[in-house]
């Protein structure tokens, strides 16, 4: 599959994910004065929405929707050529960040807010960074352990369920995604994060990536498929007539 087509799928998928996260957060805050109910509605919508998005764009790009998943895929597959190339990772990451920003803008406009309203929600306490390390490590371990144990077919509901649960068991409400974190800075709503809080979250997520990959190496040392075949197996374009696949 051509990189540009996969990048478009990543952009659309990440935009849709941020629309779900931000839009459901706005709707929940509008309909309920109770922050617990708001978080419940936001987490349920995100869990179901994420599973559906993975099923929709997965056959094209693998539905990474997250630069850390793409980076882990490259790192884990660099020796045997099973993962993304470095140029693929760059293309995916750019598309994911752009998609997250587009998603936040669309969600704002849908609810009659300013297209860009920088979040004022500070999330810069150390305990929130610990939450992001835990959330990200668990996500990376989940995705790649499914591949190495031959259970990639259940990735869509499993990843959706994990993120929905992690809203509640992590102090940070489980961003676990630098692209989505950047997008959420563009909305001053329930799901937002102040731009000044982004560096701490991104660093914590990178630490979580390292922890997740380390746990994977300990628990599942056998190399497996790349993540383009993990989150959801993507389809390959047929080779042109008269040419091989090599």
Q: What is the domain partition of the chain in residue ranges? A: 3-229
What is the value of pTM for the model shown? 0.89
How far apart CA 60 and CA 57 sit, in angstroms, is 6
Of 5-14, 123-132, 140-149, 227-236, minimum mean pLDDT range: 227-236
Pick the CATH number of 3-229 from 1.20.150.20, 3.40.50.2300, 1.10.40.30, 1.20.1080.10: 1.20.1080.10
How far apart CA 70 and CA 51 sit, in angstroms, is 18
> Is residue 18 within 8 Å of residue 100, measured between CB atoms?
yes
How far apart CA 173 and CA 158 sit, in angstroms, is 17
Q: Quote the tokens at residue 5.
A: 């087509």
Residue 244 has pLDDT above 50, yes or no: no
Report in angstroms the alpha-carbon separations of 119 from 20, 22, 205. Answer: 17, 12, 20
Residue 182 has pLDDT above 50, yes or no: yes
The model's confidence at residue 229, banded by pLDDT at 50, 70 and 90, is low
Q: How many residues make up the chain in this entry? A: 246
Residue 225 has pLDDT above 70, yes or no: no
Average pLDDT over the chain reads: 92
Q: How far is CA 218 from the centre of its chain?
A: 24
Determine the average pLDDT of the residues in 94-102: 98
Higher-confidence position of 79 and 141? 141
């Amino acid at each position: 599959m051509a990189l540009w087509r996969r990048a478009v799928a990543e952009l659309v998928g990440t935009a849709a994910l941020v629309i779900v996260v931000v839009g459901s957060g706005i709707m929940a805050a509008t309909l309920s004065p109770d922050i617990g109910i708001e978080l419940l509605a936001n987490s349920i919508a995100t869990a179901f929405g994420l599973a559906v998005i993975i099923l929709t764009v997965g056959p094209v790009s693998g539905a990474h929707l997250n630069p850390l998943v793409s980076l882990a895929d490259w790192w884990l597959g660099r020796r045997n050529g099973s993962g993304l190339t470095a140029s693929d990772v760059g293309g995916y990451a750019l598309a994911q960040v752009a998609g997250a920003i587009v998603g936040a803008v669309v969600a704002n406009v849908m609810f009659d807010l300013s297209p860009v309203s920088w979040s004022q929600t500070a999330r810069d306490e150390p305990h929130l960074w610990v939450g992001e390390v835990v959330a990200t490590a668990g996500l990376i371990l989940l995705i790649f352990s499914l591949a190495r144990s031959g259970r990639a077919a259940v990735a869509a509901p499993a990843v959706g369920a994990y993120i929905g649960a992690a809203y509640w068991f992590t102090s940070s409400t489980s961003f676990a995604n630098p692209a989505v974190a950047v997008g959420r800075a563009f909305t001053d709503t329930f799901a937002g994060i102040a731009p000044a809080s982004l560096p701490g979250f991104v660093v914590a997520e990178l630490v979580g990536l390292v922890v997740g990959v380390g746990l994977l190496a300990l628990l599942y040392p056998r190399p497996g498929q790349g993540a383009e075949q993990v989150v959801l197996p993507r389809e390959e374009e047929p080779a042109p007539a008269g040419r091989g696949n090599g």
